[in-house]
Structure 1
């Protein structure tokens, strides 16, 4: 029986001899320095940005290892410190592929190792800070600006003790660098926030301006915060994954991770020349991050929601299962070709047609169990972002909205039927929708009018559009056979 390898730098040679894909740049005596600090070392970061950096180190070298910093939680540090930051990545597809990722060289906890974190951020070798801290971690108000009333920001501005917010810690480190005559590091937000780079820089400058105008002026002129877009499904680590790593690789890994084969990292093309070779291992540098975001909302998010509502009405449980239904596939492909792609004037770096095919292939991944019921959550927030802008543009430009209206009508039926069955509705407008649902009768004209009366979802210009109203009523009627389990030709 093969002996289990306990993953760390000293075991890499043994793992390599057994045919395991390990990072050669981390084998002792490794001289690769830390050049990046990452705040928020969750699973997505380790499956995404750390993997891109790992690939850049493998293929192009450089001193770009990562110091991963958790603001409060000790979990990642406890799991990975004994492993010298190493972990196994399982890439899930029809076949599962494994490799050991070595980009992380240390894991710190700011709450317990504050001085070490500041020392790392102010080290001359640190040239980038990347972040995955979720939207909540930026302490923004409803206008997308730094919330000076947020308790963490108020605490950090008082500077009574060590700072606790990411923005506060970054400003402290940048202040020290400014005093020492060191250049500012580049800060890259990798969270799903529209215009994340712009909002992050404004927040950092706004925080600095509260205490040090000279510093805020320096940051306003010289701090680089590119906007980004990121994408890859990264399911949570479970014991089944740990057992799989143990069985397939004979490796004991405290915290392996898994993700789908598809991944995307789009970065605003304003990075300094001295950088990891991210763009040579799959990242895209562009002047039009917003164009990529628009394409993602329309080709990925819109079709995702459409599958969720239509599939749920048809009694289908997962995205993969939905993609086994010929009628749904035909509908989605037709909607993409006839109503979504014509609305996209994509960036020059994006082949929108190929991107749409890549998305459909992702949906066919048998290793990813993505529940339609979860995608269907929060429809009142998602529909105004994912579906209505396409409908609005197509109406203005004289294109069809017939299929998009079927997706919208499916959401209306989904809400109505869940409430009729006294099932829980996960939505910020749940109470309002519950009152509306009690008034729904199944009559297309009256039900559609009730839903269109929700002004926080539907703008007045759409409500007043006769073409939209007619298409929605027709779609609502067309879906009746689906509800009666007679599903042929419901959208033709």
Structure 2
């Protein structure tokens, strides 16, 4: 067999790291919802390093929608490779932390049984912002969402993250078992607290007594996660095959940098992730805010402006001198003054490290990939910073340009009049608004600002916000992203 699997581990080249434990001794202690590339490059890697000492923390991966990950990894016994690169070169290791893979819609009863297993002590999530079924501007549960309404009535056949979590907790309560800890690992402000409020509201709609039990018994620690993980390409598969001497259907290509800050609040124990590089703290919020605003906010700005300039990847975008300078000024002049003190943490060094990571040419992180789901990302990545600066009477020129670049992007037509494949939960609504308004900033900006799920009710009525956004959008239409960035530095 020429494919990565348990039987082929002994044939790996000597330089390839591999599981340093007996995989047959692993048991499932974590069920992870959203078994995508990021989780496999992040949480699974931190966990894999600990399994030789404690094999009870294996991870059952759950896909809530597509069978693609299961179909790729099941023939490989759940094994896959992670190649991490920086200016020192590339290191490759094979990860064996997955005990199995489930596609939830195919067998919701099996998933329910696994969530009720007393050995499962943590249920974690990386389902992206849109997977929380909430209004990003307010944090409230979208109670009119058809899948949420379905799950409230049919908790035994859930379609959503919230329905899956609440259904699992209900099974444990009914069986007299202690609840698992719910560990959010997505880029949301106060992600654990946000997920807790959504779970409680969903549970209240289903069963108020269950909601009260969850409120009193279940822990929802917040986390901050950071690692750039581009989508896997066929070229990446070819590179992995050359390194491994074996086929790997879904390898991960990522950067060497990785960070995980975790609120230490678990009721049934936890892996010693600090031994593999994670940091346990009492309050994640300052770290989370720093990352959301400096990394994610600048990443989105780079993606929209870079895409409009014709840059395929983030590294390509950073090769545009004016855009690179604008992003550095965005972080230093407009974002940093809104951040709380981190007790000696060197923000200047952190900003410099971000710019270095963005320039990494080995990471083929597509601007189009980062631009996805902007309606869900803008409130956390840019609009919170904007609100803080407006409250202090400070200018928002670069932040406003980031918002305007998103508006220009979602018109679906780039600067060369070619179509843009806009992927967003609100895509049909965005298309209707942009087509009705046309490429006229004075019409398009108010039309998009009317979407309360993104901008709330405060920003669209604040001239200190609307004026610079509309002005930036007008200039993007008239002179284009490259020239506009050049004029702003």
Q: 1:230 to 1:489 in 2, by over 3 A?
A: closer
Q: 1:191 to 1:411 in 2, by over 3 A?
A: closer
> Once the 2 structures are TM-superposed, how far is the Cα of residue 366 of structure 1 from its aligned partner?
0.5
> TM-score, normalised on structure 1?
0.78
Secondary structure of the 2:179 match is coil
- Post-superposition Cα deviations, 1:266-288, rounded to whole Å, max 9, x if no partner, equal 33332347211223323333444
| Residue aligning to 1:21 | 17
| Residue aligning to 2:236 | 241
Q: 1:165 to 1:417 in 2, by over 3 A?
A: closer
Mapped to 2, the partners of 1:379 and 1:176 lie a distance apart of 36
Mapped to 1, the partners of 2:108 and 2:407 lie a distance apart of 51
Q: 1:289 to 1:477 in 2, by over 3 A?
A: same
Q: 1:406 to 1:348 in 2, by over 3 A?
A: same
Secondary structure of the 1:252 match is coil
> Once the 2 structures are TM-superposed, how far is the Cα of residue 24 of structure 1 from its aligned partner?
1.1
Among 45, 48, 57, which residue is 1:51 paired with?
45
Q: 1:470 to 1:81 in 2, by over 3 A?
A: closer
For this pair of structures, how many residues does the alignment match? 475
Q: Is this contact kept in 2: 1:62–1:276, CA < 8 A?
A: no
Among 175, 191, 214, which residue is 2:170 paired with?
175
Matched, 1:200 2:188: no
Q: 1:354 to 1:177 in 2, by over 3 A?
A: same
Stretches of structure 2 lacking an aligned partner (at least 5 in a row) = none
Stretches of structure 1 lacking an aligned partner (at least 5 in a row) = 441-446
Matched, 1:253 2:240: no
Matched, 1:490 2:484: no
| Residue aligning to 1:444 | none
Mapped to 2, the partners of 1:412 and 1:204 lie a distance apart of 32
Q: Is this contact kept in 1: 2:253–2:363, CA < 8 A?
A: no
Mapped to 2, the partners of 1:72 and 1:365 lie a distance apart of 32
Q: How does 1:118-157 map to 2 (within 5 A)?
A: 118-140=112-134, 144-147=139-142, 150-157=145-152
Mapped to 2, the partners of 1:471 and 1:179 lie a distance apart of 52
Q: Is this contact kept in 1: 2:440–2:474, CA < 8 A?
A: no
> Once the 2 structures are TM-superposed, how far is the Cα of residue 387 of structure 1 from its aligned partner?
4.4
Q: Which one has the largest radius of gyration? A: 1
> TM-score, normalised on structure 2?
0.78
| Residue aligning to 1:188 | 183
| Residue aligning to 2:348 | 353
Mapped to 1, the partners of 2:344 and 2:333 lie a distance apart of 22
Among 274, 279, 282, which residue is 2:274 paired with?
279
| Residue aligning to 2:100 | 106
> Once the 2 structures are TM-superposed, how far is the Cα of residue 50 of structure 1 from its aligned partner?
1.3
Q: How does 1:373-384 map to 2 (within 5 A)?
A: none
Secondary structure of the 1:68 match is strand
Q: How does 1:297-316 map to 2 (within 5 A)?
A: 297-308=292-303, 311=306, 316=311
| Residue aligning to 1:268 | 263
> Once the 2 structures are TM-superposed, how far is the Cα of residue 186 of structure 1 from its aligned partner?
0.5
Mapped to 2, the partners of 1:149 and 1:377 lie a distance apart of 23
Q: 1:275 to 1:462 in 2, by over 3 A?
A: same
Matched, 1:340 2:368: no
- Post-superposition Cα deviations, 1:430-472, rounded to whole Å, max 9, x if no partner, equal 55455655556xxxxxx7x98579753683674158xx96999
Higher mean alpha-carbon deviation, 481-490 vs 354-363, is at 481-490
Matched, 1:459 2:453: no
| Residue aligning to 1:11 | 8
Q: 1:385 to 1:145 in 2, by over 3 A?
A: closer
Mapped to 2, the partners of 1:176 and 1:476 lie a distance apart of 51
Q: 1:330 to 1:76 in 2, by over 3 A?
A: closer
Mapped to 2, the partners of 1:328 and 1:9 lie a distance apart of 46
Q: 1:171 to 1:19 in 2, by over 3 A?
A: same
